[in-house]
Amino acid sequence: MASIKHRIKCEDGAESDSAFSIILLFLLLFTSLWSISLLYFAWLYLDWDTPNQGGRCSMWKRNWTIWKYLRDYFPIKLVKTAELPPDRNYVMGAHPHRIMGIGFFCNFCTESNAFSKQFPGLRSLLTTLARVFCLPIYREYLMTSGVISVDRQNLDQILSQNPCGQVVVIVVGGAQEALYSGPGQHCLSLLNHKGFVRLALRHGASLVPIYSFGENDIFNVKTFPADSWKYRCQMTFKKLVGFSPCIFFGQSIFLGTSWGLMPFRRPITTVLGRPIDVPQVLHPTEEDVDHYHTLYLKALDRLFEEHKESCGVPADTHLTFL
**Digit-coded pLDDT (tens) for 228-239:** 766 677 567 666
pTM: 0.85
pLDDT score at 66? 95
Determine the average pLDDT of the residues in 50-70: 93
Is pLDDT at 98 greater than 80 in this prediction? no
Is pLDDT at 196 greater than 90 in this prediction? yes
Is pLDDT at 242 greater than 70 in this prediction? no
Confidence of residue 182 (pLDDT cuts 50, 70, 90): low
Report the percentage of the chain scoring pLDDT > 90: 57
Confidence of residue 245 (pLDDT cuts 50, 70, 90): low
Confidence of residue 122 (pLDDT cuts 50, 70, 90): very high
Distance CA 138, CA 10 (A): 8
| 113 or 256, higher pLDDT | 113
